[in-house]
Structure formats: structure tokens, C-alpha cells
Amino acid sequence: MDRGIIFTTDSLIASIAVLLILLSASGESESLLLGSAKNSSTIQLQLFASSLSEAIVKNSDPENPAHGAAYFDNGRKRAQANIIDGALLERIGKENFGKYTLAGIYERDGQEMRELFMETSNGRCASAERFVIIKGALGERRAVLGVVACEG
């Protein structure tokens, strides 16, 4: 009879220990999943900002410069990547792309920063920067073009 009680008690203690370990592992994996979901939305926002900056510097769309403000070379009959038309750049404003919004564009040259436009946002924002040449009425200038995208 004593052996049966000892065996039952040992089995009970072992079962409780295994159950506690499984509960602990379950809680840890849930925490990791929630963290990765948050990181995933941050990565998606950063990818959108990067894609939007890519579109602005490589495409030319005079009707909607938020979709492309690259300089169009009439001699070559194509847009010049990383060369921005200053007039188109000045016309870009806030634009909604569904889940994300183009909330700002700025230009950096050394220590100076000039905001072409910058909207405030309640959601999270991300920016992407590109080295460009801006062709304007006063000639060409080299700058870093920043594109700010926000949620909402």
C-alpha cells in the first residue's frame, strides 16, 4: 500500500511540474508572437516609406507628383532616376494611400534641413531618405530627399 501512495504522489508532483513548464512556455510564445506582430507592422510601414521614396525618385508623373517627381529628359524620352524635377517636387502634398499616408517631404543638405511640407500625425511614422540631384530654376543641387509616411 505504501508503494502505491508513493508512486501516486510522485506521479502527481511530476504532472504538476510538467504542467507548469508547459504553461510557462505557452505564455512565453504568446509574448513572442505579440512582439513579432508589432515588429511586422513597423517593418511594413518602413517598407512603404522606402517604396514611396523609390517611386518619387524614379518615376515621372506631372499630374500627380506624389507618384513620381523624377526629371523627364525629353532628348532620351524617359525619366532620369535620382534626378528630381524641382517644380514637381514643390507640388507634392499630403496624399492618402489607404492604410498609409504620405505625411511629409524634406530636403537635407549638410546640416540644413528644409521641409517642403510636413503634416502632424497621431499614428506611427517612418521615413526613408535618398541621395538625389534636384534640378530647379536656379540650376542643380545635391541633397538628401526624405519621405515621411505615417499610418492612417
The domain tally of the chain equals: 1
Tens digit of pLDDT for each residue in 73-94?
Answer: 889 999 999 999 999 999 999 9
Of 48-52, 63-67, 104-108, 118-122, least confident by mean pLDDT is: 118-122
Give, for 72, the enclosing helix (H) or strand (E).
Answer: strand 70-73
Bridge partners of 113, per DSSP, are 108
What is the spatial distance between Cα 145 and Cα 57, in angstroms, rounded to a whole number? 9
Set of cell numbers at residue 122: 497621431
The alpha helices in the chain, defined as continuous H runs, are 2-58, 86-91
Tens digit of pLDDT for each residue in 1-38?
Answer: 455 555 677 777 777 877 777 777 776 666 666 666 66
Half-sphere exposure of 13 (CA within 13 A, CB side): 6
Domain that holds residue 138: 2-151
Provide the pLDDT for residue 37: 60
Q: Which residues contact 131 (CB under 8 A, 6 or more apart)?
A: 82, 142, 143, 144, 145
Quickly count: other Cβ atoms within 10 Å of residue 144's Cβ. 14
